[in-house]
Amino acid sequence: MTNPSQHKTINWGIIGLGNIANKFAQDLLTIPDAKLHAVASRSQEKADNFASKYKATKAYNSYEALAQDPNIDAVYIATPHALHKENTLLCLEHGIAVLCEKPFAMDTYQVDEMIAKAQEKNVLLMEALWTYFLPHYQFVLGELKNETYGKLLKVEADFGFHRDFDNKARLFNKSLGGGSLLDIGIYPIFAALSTLGIPETMKADATFFENGADSTCNMVFEYKNGETAHLKSTLLKATPTEAIFHCEGGTITINTMFHMPTTVTVKANEKEERLDFNYKTIGYNYEAIHFNDLIRNGKKESDIMNFEFSKTLINTLDSVRNLINLQY
């Protein structure tokens, strides 16, 4: 007998209606058994416009009002980093499953508090690190796990673009978690942790803007069997933004903008092959589909982006911050 919950349409809410929320909402429209039910902003006009654009039923001018809507199954939190914990706890208190944008929160203590609340309320919670769910990234993880080209020896990953410094912009606002590390450095770190695991030692150095937010962060992770990860994030210039995995018998490169839908180049046995994954969306639908399935199956934690991995990620970010003496 078919379980009716397997076909249940998941009603979504979105809190925080900036750039990334627009991308998520656009991809949500491509998922047949999901619907954008409600959106919330501190501005009613912004909420109304967003709701109209993405066919949401309700538009709220407070996050609290959205959290009290009984028809919401899941909430995507897309507010600035510094608000993630507060917004997540609000939704969990109301029994709503939460997909919270990366970084999960500002530090390990906040992440631990969020996970503890989800477990106390028995409600699904997941960090929205969309790269983990993209088919090209899952393909690369599979090749590395199977040691198709031998053991992984070294990871190189970078993420950089140029923005003129603006003390008023969220990207540079230290009190909101601005700077290169939390915003984009998380992706190269994710590439290392998801393939080589937790390093034995870490080295890091950074440069800073006049307000104390980090402009560039360089990191080297060293592992007990001699593997290394060389990682970089910068807001000062455009970089290749690739992830390169050097194996004993070949090299796998996730090409430019490795964290989003892109191509993969494999070099082995004196041959080079470029793999195209024929993406048709921005890429946020993959994590949303996974989250929908978790809800339908009554799961309270993802088997891919699980709590242990989110804790490892924020612990690593905290360790790098300590090494470069960065405090928010």
224 plus 108 within the same structural domain = no
274: tokens are 């470029």
Instruction: Concatenate the DSSP letters of all residues of 197-223 into one string.
Output: -S-SEEEEEEEE-TTS-EEEEEEEEE-
Report pLDDT for 83: 97
CB burial string 195-216: b at 16+ within 10 A, e below: bbeebeebebebebbeeebbbb
Report pLDDT for 7: 77
Domain that holds residue 223: 135-276
Query: What is the CB neighbour count within 10 angstroms for residue 94?
Result: 17
Question: Which three-class secondary structure state does DSSP give residue 281?
Answer: coil
169 plus 72 within the same structural domain = no
Residue with tokens 């690369």: 140
Question: Which three-class secondary structure state does DSSP give residue 159?
Answer: strand
Distance CA 174, CA 57 (A): 35
What CATH number is attached to the domain comprising 44? Answer: 3.40.50.720
8 plus 141 within the same structural domain = no
For the chain, 328 residues long, give each residue's pLDDT as a single digit of tens.
Answer: 345 466 799 999 999 999 999 999 999 999 999 999 999 999 999 999 999 999 999 999 999 999 999 999 999 999 999 999 999 999 999 999 999 999 999 999 999 999 999 999 999 999 999 999 999 999 999 999 999 999 999 999 999 999 999 999 999 999 999 999 999 999 999 999 999 999 999 999 999 999 999 999 999 999 999 999 999 999 999 999 999 999 999 999 999 999 999 999 999 999 999 999 999 999 999 999 999 999 999 999 999 999 999 999 999 999 999 999 999 8
Question: Which three-class secondary structure state does DSSP give residue 246?
Answer: strand
225 within some domain = yes
Distance CA 78, CA 196 (A): 29
176 plus 227 within the same structural domain = yes
Pairing between β-strand 264-268 and β-strand 271-275 as defined by DSSP bridges: antiparallel
147 within some domain = yes
311 within some domain = no
